[in-house]
Amino acid sequence: MVAAPENIKRQVYLCTRCGYCRDMVRARDDTERLCPIRETTSGFELYIARGRNWIARQILEGKLSVKDLTERFIDAIYACLLCGNCTEHCLVLKPDSWERFPNNLYEDHLIDNCNITRFLRSLIVEEGRPPTEIQEVLQNYQNYSNPYGEPKERRDAWTKELDFKIKNAVEEKCEVLLYVGSIASYHERNQKGVQALAKILHLANVDFGILGAQEEDSGGEVRDLGEEGLFEEFANRNLELFRKHNISNVVCVSPHDYNAFVNYYPEVLGEEWTKLNIKIQHYTELLANLISSGKLTIKRKLNKKVTYHDPCDLGRKNNIFEAPRKIIEATGAKLVEMKLSRRNSYCCGGGALWYRPLDKPQVEVERIKQAMETQADTVVTACPVCTQMLEDGVKAVGNKIKVMEIPEILLEALI
């Protein structure tokens, strides 16, 4: 069995099973909904953080073996979206935090429930027992460096429709590496978002390039699915790739890749990664700076009523809340917030790209219904995974609300 890291053991035993991750009402910030899987499935204990933490404890104490886990147990562990909302609102706090009550912000995060769930998944993968769909996705990552099983030579296929040439960072020196990632590279819907982003960077005269067929997946999704060994392979490949080509400034399209580079890589690569001193940004940060510095000029104000969906990996996990909203407001669009936004944002159900749990939760439908409550005509996000899921939600409810990614709505205001 994979040895449990000390931080996992400590966090598992810190969980008091209070149930706040199951039934939570916090009046002061209107957070009446927390776990989207618990609320769109049977709601059994297996589907919430304290249930998974209890399973982890039984395994750590030798009272339960991964070999004993039923299909339903494994399904529940993979049903978790790793959205981090249970971690965000966990009541296990440092003792001095209560001195700040009622102004304590519950930011101690002494228990990272996502880490515990990833650990459980790593045990399942080691035992060779992940769901068939997960096995196929991991096999595609292993063989093709992407979840779709597409050839690496097609990673830059999205550039063919542009009327300008993008530098290849392997062959030409450039100031900024646009790290496209697998989701935006291969999926037709998401190619539109990255094409819009490239056009904006071109308009702003940003000296940027891509790695094209040489680009490796970040491995972030691989780690989230429980394949630690393969994730470390990806991390080391990117370390050598960035080092070889003297990459010093990376702009990520996907928050999932951003999260991997910023949080996962330092953890597994240590000084080897941090001493490269690479500046990592999400594209919303760069675009907001280009607008504020006058390098992008708004040509026309948009007559739209917009609500913004905070991607979990961008907002809750990495505190990037303002940049996307500044971009939307710069377009002239009227921004209206959903009740559950920012740190309380409700997940779009992105894990369903790879696995639909047995109870068939439709988290994306719930999120679209929340967007519809604002009476906005457009829901905007800053993540290719979220874009796909939200569009699936729109189709399921039969509504006409439009889904756009940040570069798409910004480009409308620039041309």
- Answering whether pTM is above 0.85, one says yes
Pick from 136, 151, 139, 227: which is nearest to 182 by CA? 151
Token duo for residue 213: 């067929």
Rounded mean pLDDT, 168-191: 95
Which amino acid makes up residue 400?
A: K
| Alpha-carbon span 349 to 356, nearest angstrom | 10
Position 119 scores a pLDDT of 95
Position 6 scores a pLDDT of 87
Token duo for residue 204: 């702003």
Q: Identify the residue with better confidence: 310 or 48.
A: 310
Rounded mean pLDDT, 151-161: 95
The fraction of the chain above a pLDDT of 70, given in percent, is 95
Residues in a beta bridge with 380: 308, 404
| pLDDT score of 101 more than 70 | no
**Ramachandran quadrant class, 246 (left: phi over 0; alpha: psi -120 to 50; beta: rest):** left
pLDDT, one tens digit per residue, over 325-366 is 999 999 999 999 999 999 889 999 998 889 888 888 899 999
Rounded to 5 degrees, φ, ψ at 4 are: -75, 125
Position 328 scores a pLDDT of 97
Query: Given pLDDT bands bounded at 50, 70 and 90, which one contains residue 35?
Result: confident
Position 3 scores a pLDDT of 62
Which amino acid makes up residue 379?
A: V
Q: Identify the residue with better confidence: 72 or 103.
A: 72
| pLDDT score of 23 more than 80 | no
Pick from 390, 344, 362, 313: which is nearest to 39 by CA? 362
| pLDDT score of 44 more than 90 | no
Residue 206 half-sphere exposure, CB side, CA atoms within 13 Å? 28
Query: Given pLDDT bands bounded at 50, 70 and 90, which one contains residue 1?
Result: low
Highest mean predicted confidence (pLDDT) among 9-18, 47-56, 146-155: 146-155
pLDDT, one tens digit per residue, over 241-271 is 999 999 999 999 999 999 999 999 999 999 9
| pLDDT score of 321 more than 90 | yes
Token duo for residue 103: 């102004």
**Ramachandran quadrant class, 402 (left: phi over 0; alpha: psi -120 to 50; beta: rest):** beta
Three-state DSSP state, 150: coil
Query: Given pLDDT bands bounded at 50, 70 and 90, which one contains residue 15?
Result: confident
Question: Lowest mean pLDDT: which of 22-36, 66-80, 176-190, 369-383?
Answer: 22-36
Position 22 scores a pLDDT of 72
Three-state DSSP state, 389: helix
Query: Given pLDDT bands bounded at 50, 70 and 90, which one contains residue 109?
Result: confident
Rounded mean pLDDT, 43-56: 86
CB burial of residue 406 (10 Å; 0-12, 13-18, 19+): buried
Contact by Cβ (8 Å): 235, 363? no
| Alpha-carbon span 106 to 98, nearest angstrom | 10
The fraction of the chain above a pLDDT of 90, given in percent, is 74
Name all domains of the chain by residue range, CATH numbers in brackets: 6-130 (no CATH), 145-288 (3.40.50), 298-414 (3.40.50.10700)
- For the chain, the average pLDDT equals 92
pLDDT, one tens digit per residue, over 373-390 is 999 999 999 999 999 999
CB burial of residue 103 (10 Å; 0-12, 13-18, 19+): exposed
pLDDT, one tens digit per residue, over 180-237 is 999 999 999 999 999 999 999 999 999 999 999 999 999 999 999 999 999 999 999 9
Q: How many CB atoms lie within 10 A of CB 5?
A: 11
